[in-house]
Structure 1
């Protein structure tokens, strides 16, 4: 427990590399998370910019330029791909827009997983151990791309699970059923306490954007 709650060099910062959706999907995510906050006070999903995590909450003490250079090399030659949006569904205890599969809704989109794996491989040498939060390690077998709508509060308010799910599904917010997967972004996040309810003090800063191009 002492190690779990210890401070680490580089605290209070973490880094994430995300796939940014198209503007229409971003607007839909913002509208949905904003409504959840307005009705229930849940902020964890909306505390981030709309995104699908490629690698998240990485403890890195290297200079930002080194992170940018590593990801630039790691995703060189990766082409843009189509992201299919299966709509609102449960994932774990939360609610998401499901964007992991191809148009058939059952086959994982290999291009999405390939991109996440390439980003993870690029930043892994820069990551230093930190006791909190738990390590965010990439596993190709369990990776599932998604856009969060309701997340960590469901661990502390499971009594609202069914009500919040019904509410989110009833919101009249349209979104595209597909968008180009061509925009990757680096963010630095900050929290006063990564060992607890970090989302209550989370702030973030956009650092860099990459655009995937057809060769």
Structure 2
């Protein structure tokens, strides 16, 4: 696999680059937050991977299943909260099923996309992501330095990342890391309530490159879906 390496910008270049559009270097993401036990399992795996291999991209975020991610929004946070609040009106909580560790793309995830049969997509999860996408889409502005993130019902896959973008840089570790994760004695619930939706603001010095090296985030708001 050919690696596209973006040169590390100098401070002056960074300032000029981020001056191209209001809101840079920030992005917003809306996530489904798992239950505490599942969050602890995700954190246990990502912490072990950081300690053993220096793999950090999945663990750079709080444990989450992305509904919409890395959206370039320059509207005030209160406006984003209001838009998502309207989008979540009358949306009930639902049961999320965790099928365990699966490969997805170059990485590893907890597969939470399907119902208990492991085959049928969890339509409540997909519908929730579609509603959040519809809510925030009018607030987005073009990002000058990062590929756009578009929601597609047909390709959306609900997951909790354990290993992600580091593998583009270290594909040679893919098999070894997979074996390592399989050997970790980390228990996780087979199901949990999908009842917490969270808004985070993220920041990176290089959204077009190895963003996880400088990623920081802050919690903005949590919604609790009624059961």
Normalised TM-score (structure 2): 0.91
CA RMSD of aligned residues (A): 1.2
Correspondence for 2:142 among 116, 125, 129: 129
Give, in angstroms, the shift of residue 9 of structure 1. 2.0
CA deviations on 1:100-153 (whole Å, 9 max, x unpaired) are 000000110000000000000000000000033211110000000000000001
Report what 1:82 is aligned to: 95
Correspondence for 1:95 among 108, 119, 135: 108
Report what 2:132 is aligned to: 119
For these two proteins, the number of residue pairs brought into alignment is 211
Gaps of 5+ in 1: none
Gaps of 5+ in 2: 1-5, 7-13
CA deviations on 1:58-90 (whole Å, 9 max, x unpaired) are 000000000000000001000000000000010
1:187 and 2:210 matched? no
CA deviations on 1:136-186 (whole Å, 9 max, x unpaired) are 110000000000000001001111110001101110000000000000000
SS in structure 1 at match of 2:59: coil
Give, in angstroms, the shift of residue 195 of structure 1. 1.1
SS in structure 1 at match of 2:222: strand
Report what 2:53 is aligned to: 40
Give, in angstroms, the shift of residue 193 of structure 1. 1.1
SS in structure 2 at match of 1:26: helix
Report what 1:147 is aligned to: 160
SS in structure 2 at match of 1:46: helix
Report what 1:202 is aligned to: 215
Correspondence for 1:67 among 80, 98, 120: 80
